[in-house]
Amino acid sequence: MDYRQLGRSDLKVSGICLGTMTFGQQNTEADGHAQLDMARDAGINFIDTAEMYAVPARAETYGATESIVGNWLRRQARDRIVLATKIAGPARSLDWIRGGPPALDRANLRAALEGSLRRLRTDYVDLYQLHWPERNQPMFGQWQYDPAREAECTPIRAQLEALAELVAEGKIRYVGLSNEHPWGVMQFLRLADEYGLPRVVSIQNCYSLLNRVFEYGLVEICHREQVGVLPYSPLGFGHLTGKYLVDPAAPGRLTEFESFGQRYTKPNVVPAVTAYADLARKHGLSPTELALAFVYRRWFVTSTIIGATSLAQLSENIAAWARSLDQELMAEIEAVHLRYTNPVL
């Protein structure tokens, strides 16, 4: 396992990060702890969660994932784990979270973090991330910015000032973004530098063979500004395993929870997945190995967030770390990408 510096922080994170959003919904606490043990034993020191989890977001499971992670964490050497969590922002119908949640303002940032710390059974988190922006922007399957949807929101400077207080109190070590766009990243960086506020060290966005939009503008920003890149959904919610080609009703999040399908119903998804699966088999790889090895080995990726619902899946995902892709295979991947460019956004 490789360990890499996360942005300009002093955190050294494993090249694989264990995502935990299935804990408390598709996975029991015992399942979750078994996954965490397997990840730790494989050299993974980076754990990602969120106050909103388990997924799909429901009032009944709000905070369950953090509690499961916290019950495991209390038995570990805390300084050996890089722990990341996220605050839920507004613009989604999550009325059970702090009444909305209404904003990423000072009161909500403090309340959300204090709740996370209680559930995680720790007095600090290494990386605290804004799960999605408060402002109007397209996300989660949307692709067009609509100025008609503008509404009042907490200024980015005010968000950073509130986060600065929590950093000063020792409750947060570093700050990160998630589901963010180029304009937002640059504003966070500019304001941090201008006013001496916490500089974001990472961004967590969707990235896979099916969605390489991150490469258009954010890769350059992250490279030049030294912002760590943490891709999630490297398997395209299971599509890139090829299982839905064999059986469209195969067990998984997309068949179990209808709301997950919004990104994956676009016309070129199935043709693209078929092409990548055929390419994998041609080169003696499973579709899963091809998809994960591609993301693992991208030059700009700091750590890839993986998730699983079984130890067998997790073992396969970790084992794919040893796979490499030669120049011939990469050229063939690019040819498929040009034919089916970003069928998922």
Q: pLDDT per residue over 37-60, tens digit each?
A: 999 999 999 999 999 999 999 999
Tell me if 105 sits within 8 A of 166, measured CB to CB. Answer: no
214-225 and 182-195 are packed helices; what angle lies between their axes, rounded to 10 degrees? 20
Segments forming the whole domain that contains residue 57: 3-238+298-324
CATH number at residue 192: 3.20.20.100
Instruction: Report residue 320 as tokens.
Output: 């794919």
| 340 is known as an active-site residue | no
Instruction: Round to whole Å and give the CA distance between 135 and 147.
Output: 11
Q: pLDDT per residue over 239-285, tens digit each?
A: 999 998 988 878 877 777 766 666 788 899 999 999 999 999 999 99
CA dihedral 326→324→343→21, nearest 10 degrees, is: -170
Number of domains in the chain: 1
Tell me if 286 sits within 8 A of 277, measured CB to CB. Answer: no
Judged against a pLDDT cut of 80, whether residue 91 lies above it is answered with no
DSSP 209: T
Q: What is the pLDDT of residue 158?
A: 98
Q: pLDDT per residue over 174-223, tens digit each?
A: 999 999 999 999 999 999 999 999 999 999 999 999 999 999 999 999 99
Tell me if 254 sits within 8 A of 260, measured CB to CB. Answer: yes
Catalytic residue among 53, 128, 296, 340: 53
Region 143-161: mean pLDDT is 91
Instruction: Round to whole Å and give the CA distance between 37 and 55.
Output: 21
More confident residue, 165 or 253: 165
Q: Is residue 332 part of a domain?
A: no
Contacts of 50 (CB under 8 A, 6+ apart): 21, 65, 66, 85, 86, 87, 88, 129, 131
3-class secondary-structure state, position 335: helix
Instruction: Round to whole Å and give the CA distance between 34 and 42.
Output: 12
Q: What is the pTM of this model?
A: 0.95
